[in-house]
Homo-oligomer: A and B are copies of this chain.
Amino acid sequence: MLVQGKTYRTIRFKDHQKNSIEIIDQRHLPHRFALETLSSSAEVIRAISEMQVRGAVLIGAAAAYGMVLATREAAREKNPNRYIHETAKQFKAARPTAVNLAWAVDRLEQAILVGNTPEERLTLAHTAANALVEAELVACRKIGENGLPILRALFEKRPRQPVNVLTHCNAGWLACVDYGTATAPIYAAHAAGIRVHVWVDETRPWNQGAKLTAWELAQQGIPHTLIADNTGGHLMQHGMVDLCIVGCDRATARGDVANKIGTYLKALAAKDNHVPFYVALPLSTFDLTLQDGIKEIPIEERGAEEVTKITGWTEKGFQTVHLAGPDTPAANYGFDVTPARLVTGLITEKGICAADSTTIQKLFA
């Protein structure tokens, strides 16, 4: 997508030899657009755990590329297989909730271990990582195409008004490689001449909405309004939201969806106010080994200081300020689970489907 009019992806190999990876360091947005080079698998793991890159699809893509670096590193090790396996484990432990991470790492590990020589393994790693990333790219584009009719139908009902979409967190192109998941139908609608306005939840405590979603929508010229996470229910009560679209970090076989903490509250408000609530996700985000998302999906707990302090921009650069007293205890759960009964539909690269076991099973047939 566009950054200051120029096309970017969130991640790419920097050189033809694939010795290093270039990412957008998302911790500095929207105040500074900074690219960063990662030259080892350890650096990629740290970039994932410290949220320089984040979002289910993007951390899968970063781990796939990181496993290519690990393959090269393994050639210098006494026990390359063990190195690859240990590195794969470290990748998977970097963030626990999004299933795309483990999915990508497992696929890469399997592909790599088929090779006999270091050169063969490197070629296999390259091919597998590229295939995975390109497939995710196509999946996101298709999520856009498949979600477009929902926005078109709402627009045609009231063609003089923009379609008001509420989204939570950032499931935009910054969370993927390009297009985004939740934003893909919005970008597709905008390109098709449909007027869209997006209510952007700021998404405490990490503020992905305020930092990332608002910024990426502005870069593509999509009208939007930033709101505190508390606001969505009021807007829905007053008919100011036509549609919710959110992303997903892990979906179960029966259609329960883990997404950024607070998503469940918006799904409840949508249900209470008859607002359609869609979840956009590629098939790689399904974990068909799980049924009951609330009981079974592991929820990441992060540091209390992400709640008690915040870093923002001042004339003198970034500054961290205390929001609470120095001894205030805080808890920081990263995700919550929205039960399938609150989900109007799942927008996938294979089409829109209901959030139930039978329909989901057919996606994978």
Scan residues 196-240 of chain A and give those whose CB is less than 8 A from a CB of chain B: 202-205, 207, 210-211, 214-215, 218, 224-235, 237-238
Set B225, B294, B307: member contacting A330, Cβ < 8 A: B225
Q: Is the CB of B321 within 8 A of A268?
A: no
Residue A311 at the chain B interface, CB threshold 8 Å: yes
Docked CA distance A237–B224 (Å): 31
Q: Is the CB of A226 within 8 A of B314?
A: no
Q: Is the CB of A313 within 8 A of B308?
A: no
Q: Is the CB of A233 within 8 A of B262?
A: yes
Q: Is the CB of B307 within 8 A of A228?
A: yes
Residue A312 at the chain B interface, CB threshold 8 Å: yes
* With known contacts A228-B332, A328-B218, A331-B231, A323–B268 Cβ distance under 8 A: no
Q: Is the CB of B337 within 8 A of A323?
A: no
Chain B residues near A203 (CB, 8 Å)? 230
Scan residues 149-205 of chain A and give those whose CB is less than 8 A from a CB of chain B: 202-205
Q: In the complex, what's the smallest C-beta–C-beta distance from A224 to chain B, in angstroms?
A: 7
Size class of the A contact interface (CB-based, 8 Å) = 35 or more
- One digit per residue, 1 when the CB lies within 8 angstroms of any chain B CB and 0 when it does not, for chain A 255-287 equals 000001110111011001000000000000000
Q: Is the CB of A262 within 8 A of B231?
A: yes
Residue A325 at the chain B interface, CB threshold 8 Å: yes
* With known contacts A314-B321, A327-B218, A204–B230 Cβ distance under 8 A: yes
Q: Is the CB of A325 within 8 A of B268?
A: no
Q: Is the CB of B233 within 8 A of A204?
A: no
Greatest chain B CB density within 10 A among A205, A294, A309 is at: A205
Residue A80 at the chain B interface, CB threshold 8 Å: no
Q: Is the CB of A233 within 8 A of B264?
A: yes
Scan residues 293-330 of chain A and give those whose CB is less than 8 A from a CB of chain B: 294, 299, 304, 307-314, 319-325, 327-330
Chain B residues near A304 (CB, 8 Å)? 226
* With known contacts A234-B264, A261-B234, A227–B307 Cβ distance under 8 A: yes
25 A-B pairs whose Cβ atoms sit less than 8 Å apart in the complex: A31-B325, A204-B228, A210-B324, A211-B324, A225-B330, A226-B324, A227-B307, A227-B333, A228-B229, A228-B261, A229-B230, A230-B261, A230-B262, A231-B261, A233-B268, A234-B264, A234-B337, A237-B294, A265-B266, A268-B268, A310-B312, A312-B322, A313-B322, A314-B320, A319-B321
6 extra interchain contacts, Cβ-Cβ under 8 A, other than A214-B328, A224-B328?
A205-B228, A218-B328, A226-B304, A312-B323, A314-B321, A321-B321
